[in-house]
Structure 1
Amino acid sequence: MHWTTRVGVLLCGGLPAAAVAGADSGPGGGNGPGHGQPTTIYRDVVIIGGGASGSYSAVRLREDFNVSVVLVEQDERLGGHVNTFTDPSTGRSFDAGVQNWIDLPGSGVRQFFTRLGVATQPNVRSVLDQVYVDFTTGRKLPNYTPPPNNLRVEALQRYVTAAEQFLPILEPGWWTFPPPSQIPSDLFLPFRDFVKKYNLTAGVPGIFATTGFGMHDMMGGLTLWFMRSFNVNIARVLLGTESSFVPVSRRNQEIYDNILTLLGPSDVLLSSTVVSAQRSASKKGGVTLQVRNSKTGKTTKIVAKKILFTPVPSDQNMAPFDLDKEEKKTLSTFDYSASFVGVISHPSLPLNASILNTPSAAQPANWPAAVPESPYNTRFENYPNSTYFRVIAVGDQTLTEKKAKKLITDALGKMIKAGTLPKTKPAEDAKFHLFMPHGLVSAYASEKALKGGFIQKLQSLQGPKNTWYTGASWGVHLTTNLWVFTDTVLPKLVASL
């Protein structure tokens, strides 16, 4: 089992801004040149966000529940955190974001791909040379020994055993989460203490390399939130007891392109943002949204019975939605990490290798110290048979694109200066072929908030003001798990129509 390449199933569930859309036609007139009035369209449900959760919801609601929908997406494409780069000269695709899908037993995820016309195959992870470098100095670690495979496997097995006891209250969502006085004490442990308690030290480097980099403070954060990013299923994939798959095309964007084709232009509004929203407290009042196309400047009025909101419920994302005092207070309790993913090239970077950011303190075998301090660039990971490398920058919610790029070029420059890499061109000459914000990710709240009933307050927002929620802030941060969670939300939403 190879632990550090092609394993990660990244966080999904919507892009960072709350708005999304494009020009549409429907009852109420046109929105083309010469039309002074905005188009008005009528739907049962307006879905905000075309990432993993929003795109999946649109297909399920329209095709399986016979509910009319319009999907509003800020980007020019659907798919959220997939982030596929296609080499213009060869046509070969490279996925910087989502790497694969877990084939959850009984989830129907494979059938969903088949239904969308996407052929799949088992995910085969690439074996690359592992190079351990402290990115703060640029020097290779001469005395570091990664955990041997047998110890990593044993640690993961212990993690699965420990984590399985919490599945009934953590998955697929918060529906059965206990009141504050009954929350298991293990979930309040900083993850580093959970690691000590269950002897998981040999698993830490592999866990970090898989999905741990979605959290800017993996070791210091509460175990409750850690289990939202690295859950039992991803551990089972690493153990080989569950499987994962990818499209035969090796282009993960494919399924979302097919969803866009299936839904059609009348039910998907791309390149747009929600400008304002009115949400009635009465079921009959429904919701009314004004949506602006960022390319044309034209507006579309959407009249619907319900909203399904899928991006992170940050202050910025929720600003147009006319929140009341209690909604604002509850949703603003969340804090976030931030991340950026990219595809770069630079002649100094070694082919067939993955350069892993590993603090010097991890030597010789201090494995819990193998997680860098925030902010950081996780790695330079070569895509086999190419000159492209995958990079991931992570920090707290103040991390900007400029700072993220600097983390990457600084690490590259330090390795060149230290002689770890050959001096060919300046680090600043690194070419960013793709660099995409995952925005605010890995939502979390404090122990104090949890003991004050935060989860119960969060759940109380499901349904009132004709608004329902899904996405990574409400479920496990893996695409298949998000789809399973969404399948618990949609029947409740439909029943409320």
Structure 2
Amino acid sequence: MRKEFLTTLALSGAVLTLADGKGKGKGENNDGTRTIYRDVAIIGGGASGSYSAVRLREDYNVSVVVIEKNSNLGGHVNTFIDPVTGRGFDCGVQNWIELGGARAFFERFGVEMQPIVRSTFETVSVDFTNGQQLTNYSPPSAADRTAALQRYLAVAESFLPVLEPGWWTFPQPQNIPADLLLPFRDFVAKYNLTAAVPTFHATTGFGIHDMMGHLTVWFMRSFNVNLVRVLLGIETSIVPVSRKNQDVYDRILTSLGPDALTSTTVVSTEERSSRRGVTLIVRNSATGVKTRIVAKRLLYTAIPSEANTSPLDLDREEKSTLGQFDYSASYVGVVSHPSLPLNKSLVNIPISAQPANWPEAIPQYPYNTRFENYADSSYFRLIAVGDQTFTAAQAKKVIEDSFDKLVEGGVVNQTSPAQRLTFHKFEPHGLVSAYVTKEKLEGGFIQRLNGLQGRRGTWYTGASWGVHLSTSLWVFTDTVLERLVGDLRG
């Protein structure tokens, strides 16, 4: 990292610790609880929270503190580092769409990026419920797939003004386009998109526990215009040269220094209003030490589940609005086993998809999506998905059961019957893909959600408010930060 950039970081952290105008940035109360003062407290250090902290501190000259429950920043990045070779294997976020200032953002931290080079492994289609290989399954031809993606793109682009960046201009309930309220299976049939269904699912659809039953509006938040353009070769997807997506977040954590409180959660709220600001009590899970944070504004970037928001003293409107969300749940991991075939990707596709029933190519949840070999290694990536009740223990069992079925079906030749899968990394993404029903959308849910922005000194970003893909989400986050800073200085 450039020396002058590090100097700027250090200065900005020192100059802007004053949020109360009392002439000090931190202090200790009579009860021994440390108090720190900032302009903005940020809950969540994932893609949105980390990005927001950098932009606010470095580009808006606003002091911040990030409150992150994990020991590192980055949210769903999830990089496994081979302890022998030091090579990175990403089981969460795979790449970033080169959108807006994405590359420049990485370059701030000296992370060199390059276009992604995808592996061309043999794909073996197997029904993970019984271990049967699909010997009569014909995936869509490249030409049919491309044509279907082009049709999807044409329709999705027409909805850009109401879907991105975020919900700011979403139509009133009576004016919501009918296509957006269709179950996705009906949208697929209407626009002849069946040849793209396996691609939809394999790319981002696995993050939704019932992709075909979801409303189209929610699917388009996961599989957005920029992603289609990447798949069609119109836009570029980039990755670090180091092959470690965690690199940028580790460097952000270093640069934030004391402005990032990791292994920390909010335990209670003493104040939250536009007039008097926000006062939070947070606790470090490793040390048990509590800290009082006094900030002028709060930026919430995590999933707004009941468990996550319960310490924030939500009022009736906040509870009734955020409580309408339902979610999926997903878990990612890196495993190995000497019997798993190298240079292959074992993909979970129901036997009913034969010979070419592409809308049937999606398993019934909960399920493990794949065992995907990483190039030139013995490691395999997997993703387990279910509804919002899906637990880590259930996810591991689904994964292990799917391996056993592969052995029973003869797809995997078990050379060591007593040996189980080795989990080198297993990460809960937890609740993902927030959505509500058609009836709630028609009842004005989005307008109520927008009404929470700025309410009680609190602003929101994250995947529940924007497109799920990191760099598209950063574009939305920029619009939130502009409003937050205007509110802060107004």
Q: By the TM > 0.5 criterion, same fold?
A: yes
Give the letter aligned to residue 211 of structure 2: M
Quote the offset at 1:355 in angstroms: 0.4
Contact 1:409–1:427 (Cα < 8 Å) also in 2: no
Quote the offset at 1:427 in angstroms: 7.8
Q: Are residue 213 (structure 1) and residue 206 (structure 2) matched?
A: yes
Give the 5 Å matches for 1:114-193: 114-193=107-186
Q: CA offsets per residue over residues 389-423 of structure 1, 9 Å max, x none?
A: 00000000011111101111101101101212102
Quote the offset at 1:125 in angstroms: 0.5
Which residue number in structure 1 is paired with residue 264 of structure 2?
272
Once residues 259 and 428 of structure 1 are traced to their aligned partners in structure 2, the CA distance between those partners, rounded to angstroms, is 40
Which residue number in structure 2 is paired with residue 61 of structure 1?
56
Once residues 426 and 163 of structure 1 are traced to their aligned partners in structure 2, the CA distance between those partners, rounded to angstroms, is 49
Q: CA offsets per residue over residues 30-89 of structure 1, 9 Å max, x none?
A: 9xxxx9511100000000000000000000000000000000100010000000000101
Which residue number in structure 2 is paired with residue 18 of structure 1?
none
Q: Are residue 238 (structure 1) and residue 237 (structure 2) matched?
A: no
Which residue number in structure 2 is paired with residue 463 of structure 1?
454
Give the letter aligned to residue 275 of structure 1: V
Which residue number in structure 1 is paired with residue 26 of structure 2?
27
Which residue number in structure 2 is paired with residue 326 of structure 1?
317
Quote the offset at 1:486 in angstroms: 0.3
Instruction: Tell me the secondary structure at the aligned position of residue 405 of structure 1.
Output: helix
Give the letter aligned to residue 278 of structure 1: E
Name which of 369, 374, 381 aligns with 1:378.
Answer: 369
Quote the offset at 1:425 in angstroms: 2.8
Once residues 314 and 108 of structure 1 are traced to their aligned partners in structure 2, the CA distance between those partners, rounded to angstroms, is 30
Contact 1:374–1:394 (Cα < 8 Å) also in 2: yes
Once residues 337 and 416 of structure 2 are traced to their aligned partners in structure 1, the CA distance between those partners, rounded to angstroms, is 8
Instruction: Tell me the secondary structure at the aligned position of residue 168 of structure 1.
Output: helix
Name which of 69, 72, 85 aligns with 1:74.
Answer: 69
Quote the offset at 1:195 in angstroms: 0.4
Contact 2:371–2:382 (Cα < 8 Å) also in 1: yes
Q: 1:427 to 1:438 in 2, by over 3 A?
A: farther
Once residues 417 and 334 of structure 2 are traced to their aligned partners in structure 1, the CA distance between those partners, rounded to angstroms, is 18
Quote the offset at 1:388 in angstroms: 0.3
Quote the offset at 1:301 in angstroms: 0.3
Q: Are residue 425 (structure 1) and residue 416 (structure 2) matched?
A: yes
Which residue number in structure 2 is paired with residue 11 of structure 1?
none
Which residue number in structure 1 is paired with residue 405 of structure 2?
414
Instruction: Give the structure-1-normalised TM-score.
Output: 0.92
Which residue number in structure 1 is paired with residue 292 of structure 2?
301
Once residues 107 and 360 of structure 2 are traced to their aligned partners in structure 1, the CA distance between those partners, rounded to angstroms, is 43
**Structure 2: unaligned runs, 5 residues or longer:** 1-23
Once residues 271 and 185 of structure 2 are traced to their aligned partners in structure 1, the CA distance between those partners, rounded to angstroms, is 43
Contact 2:275–2:457 (Cα < 8 Å) also in 1: no
Instruction: Tell me the secondary structure at the aligned position of residue 295 of structure 2.
Output: strand
Which residue number in structure 2 is paired with residue 352 of structure 1?
343
Once residues 336 and 485 of structure 1 are traced to their aligned partners in structure 2, the CA distance between those partners, rounded to angstroms, is 21
Instruction: Tell me the secondary structure at the aligned position of residue 425 of structure 1.
Output: coil
Which residue number in structure 1 is paired with residue 4 of structure 2?
none
| Runs of 4+ that moved beyond 4 A | none
Contact 2:270–2:281 (Cα < 8 Å) also in 1: no
Which residue number in structure 2 is paired with residue 340 of structure 1?
331
Once residues 162 and 88 of structure 2 are traced to their aligned partners in structure 1, the CA distance between those partners, rounded to angstroms, is 39
**Structure 1: unaligned runs, 5 residues or longer:** 1-24
Which residue number in structure 1 is paired with residue 98 of structure 2?
103
Q: CA offsets per residue over residues 433-459 of structure 1, 9 Å max, x none?
A: 000000100000000100000000000
Q: What's the % identity of the aligned pairs?
A: 65
Quote the offset at 1:259 in angstroms: 0.6
Quote the offset at 1:376 in angstroms: 0.7
- What CA RMSD, in Å, does the superposition of the two structures yield over aligned residues? 1.2
Contact 1:409–1:428 (Cα < 8 Å) also in 2: no
Q: 1:431 to 1:327 in 2, by over 3 A?
A: same
Give the number of the structure with larger relative contact order, counting CA–CA contacts within 8 Å between residues 6 or more apart.
1
Which residue number in structure 1 is paired with residue 33 of structure 2?
38
Contact 1:279–1:466 (Cα < 8 Å) also in 2: no
Once residues 446 and 298 of structure 1 are traced to their aligned partners in structure 2, the CA distance between those partners, rounded to angstroms, is 41
Once residues 480 and 442 of structure 1 are traced to their aligned partners in structure 2, the CA distance between those partners, rounded to angstroms, is 16
Which residue number in structure 2 is paired with residue 5 of structure 1?
none
Once residues 372 and 356 of structure 1 are traced to their aligned partners in structure 2, the CA distance between those partners, rounded to angstroms, is 10
Q: Are residue 475 (structure 1) and residue 466 (structure 2) matched?
A: yes
Give the letter aligned to residue 28 of structure 2: G
Which residue number in structure 2 is paired with residue 317 of structure 1?
308
Quote the offset at 1:428 in angstroms: 6.4
Instruction: Tell me the secondary structure at the aligned position of residue 28 of structure 2.
Output: coil
Instruction: Tell me the secondary structure at the aligned position of residue 231 of structure 2.
Output: helix
Once residues 396 and 254 of structure 1 are traced to their aligned partners in structure 2, the CA distance between those partners, rounded to angstroms, is 31
Give the letter aligned to residue 38 of structure 1: T
Once residues 423 and 354 of structure 1 are traced to their aligned partners in structure 2, the CA distance between those partners, rounded to angstroms, is 17
Contact 1:205–1:370 (Cα < 8 Å) also in 2: yes
Contact 1:340–1:394 (Cα < 8 Å) also in 2: yes
Give the letter aligned to residue 462 of structure 2: G
Q: 1:202 to 1:270 in 2, by over 3 A?
A: same
Which residue number in structure 2 is paired with residue 224 of structure 1?
217
Which residue number in structure 2 is paired with residue 490 of structure 1?
481
Quote the offset at 1:26 in angstroms: 4.9
Once residues 365 and 224 of structure 2 are traced to their aligned partners in structure 1, the CA distance between those partners, rounded to angstroms, is 22
Quote the offset at 1:207 in angstroms: 1.2
Contact 2:25–2:38 (Cα < 8 Å) also in 1: no
Once residues 453 and 229 of structure 2 are traced to their aligned partners in structure 1, the CA distance between those partners, rounded to angstroms, is 31
Of residues 157-166 and 417-426 in structure 1, the stretch that sits farther from structure 2 once superposed is: 417-426
Q: CA offsets per residue over residues 190-243 of structure 1, 9 Å max, x none?
A: 101100000000001011110111100000110000001001111110110111
Once residues 237 and 211 of structure 2 are traced to their aligned partners in structure 1, the CA distance between those partners, rounded to angstroms, is 24
Of residues 317-326 and 423-432 in structure 1, the stretch that sits farther from structure 2 once superposed is: 423-432
Give the letter aligned to residue 64 of structure 1: D
Contact 2:339–2:413 (Cα < 8 Å) also in 1: yes
Instruction: Tell me the secondary structure at the aligned position of residue 219 of structure 1.
Output: helix
Once residues 69 and 169 of structure 1 are traced to their aligned partners in structure 2, the CA distance between those partners, rounded to angstroms, is 31
Contact 2:335–2:422 (Cα < 8 Å) also in 1: yes
